[in-house]
Structure 1
């Protein structure tokens, strides 16, 4: 108690203090410094130790941050290793002058009795940031700011473990990789040493990064694909790209994500009576060839947006039969995308060598064997229409029966109309254990 009057800055209201001691063996520098103070001034050899930061700023961690904070504040001197730094042209104030500028603030009295607890507020904030929940405490603008600034410091804890991601939410992955989390926006993987440029992470790539921090558990791969709306091959491609991008941060993707067995393609049939008939056998596999077909389509920009832009229509459903020839011969240029549109949307025969250059000879041979393509002399004609919707491809029978061979003996597979397109866009993609098939076909009117 006799020291309270001479040590007011470190004495709590109840007369206690958090004292930290050191010896010459533990910390020679601080031990010498404290004893030097005792020799230079009266009173106990005590130093006040506080964090090196100002309000609203994280604790200083680098010499650059230390100098920047030193220059922005009224700190008189800065010690860096064996350097003693003062400000040029700035006189050192006496303690009384410093004290005169201090604001006499009221001590905080805590939350009012009727205020929600901090735990409840944090739980509500977690729901809003990570689960899309609603909140009355923060406006949308405030949530965006909290997501961008506060979310980056979010760590999984025993109090708030429900973050909504499949993988563990950890922000520090190593000396060269720190996750700056923005759950409502675009997160960033950064190198604290600034040796590597930061990597922006969309919500989908953030999900992938967090999930691949550990080995996949049973059902985790399926759950991840459902959350992200990816097929097996698309997930593999995304994982490969992520692995390449994070390698420069010293991070890897758990090897078990590559352990899924790959199927072997079945022999390609030479001809079929019905289009895609081999797939009536559940054991028939053609993943590799069809994967190459899909890759070629995406590489050349065969998508709903690409097709509608090229044809000047608002949707694939607005392609009129009377305009097919005009689109094919007068509007479209001679580009890979235009040739694919001619083949799978406009019912135009294309030279075989051009189609093989677009898709690859092996893919063309497989599609001919499946009836997806048909050959006549040196030209190729599509046996199906190929629609795009929701990032997926749908092969259907022709919506416009223009040629003699278009007539079918069986019920046709209906084209993707506006109702079916709407169903694709609105149907939920979530993992389910049981699904009820209403047997209404692909049309939303059946619901």
Structure 2
């Protein structure tokens, strides 16, 4: 019961064989600062593949991409007629919200068994790091597709180990050169049924998200995302904590014309130094910065607030407090009553207000959605850090997420 429902104790024979290969047999790809040129075999192979296959996907994973990547990746999607799935931490949902090929509700869409089984791409091109969405990772694992990963240092961002190759190349440069090559050959794929079905499914999921998540009663963890984005000023940094904040952001962050630079810490030690990281981002950039964090991560790095006090850093912190490890509600162990509450939820019952005031910050307990919106706007005018706390119910928020996913699957199954 400690593991997810879809755990496995099996280890792929292919993975074992690969792990036993001598270093001389493992491919090490071109350095990221070497330009992509048409003579490179891997680039030619990919060019031929994307021209050949009508059913493809482009996935932009978490990364702090530059503006040329945004422009060239969207252009590549349009030339190839491939849906572009944009992770919430990819930056692509922000600053350009009018491209119809941009798919943002894919997590809910791919939880539909019918849709995911009926839409098996021939090729997947992945930029950036590992997907935030578990549903997307499971979809990739189940697909019988060619899959190529492209990131600056050639890192293997594939937990399932089913990708074919990884290439060390700056993503914006790859897109730029691929676009040039396609345009030179006057190649542009006509809008296909494949692309339209992804776009239609995204619209269905989006409408249900608006109806179920964005109209949820206060305080609901999923609705926090839309309310937050609506209240944010333009051109700012947004730091996402590990656990549920980064996941809810990926599930529910809508497109917007606002320029938002998204940062996040994830991994085995993703909880470490969340507040300190946000303060560092603010200190380095000098731009307005907001941290969306949970109570456990905030508690874990309370002493990081000393830097905010010492250096007068006006960080805005939105603290979602569900009194413990709410993310564990999704695990089978949640059915084990007292043991689950004591050792996994581990409720702390902390009053964070005295800690915040002790470090010289502003504190406010949010009482309504209207209060949340106005408090965010006021917080950015302060000269010292501000903590805006929302006390939520993890079980009720999870129930609302599951309702949204179920209704989306039901709607897609009826198409």
TM-score by length of 2: 0.27
Report the structure number with the largest CA radius of gyration: 1
Larger RCO, structures 1/2 (Cα 8 Å, 6+ apart): 2
Greater strand share, structure number: 2
Greater helix share, structure number: 2
TM-score by length of 1: 0.25
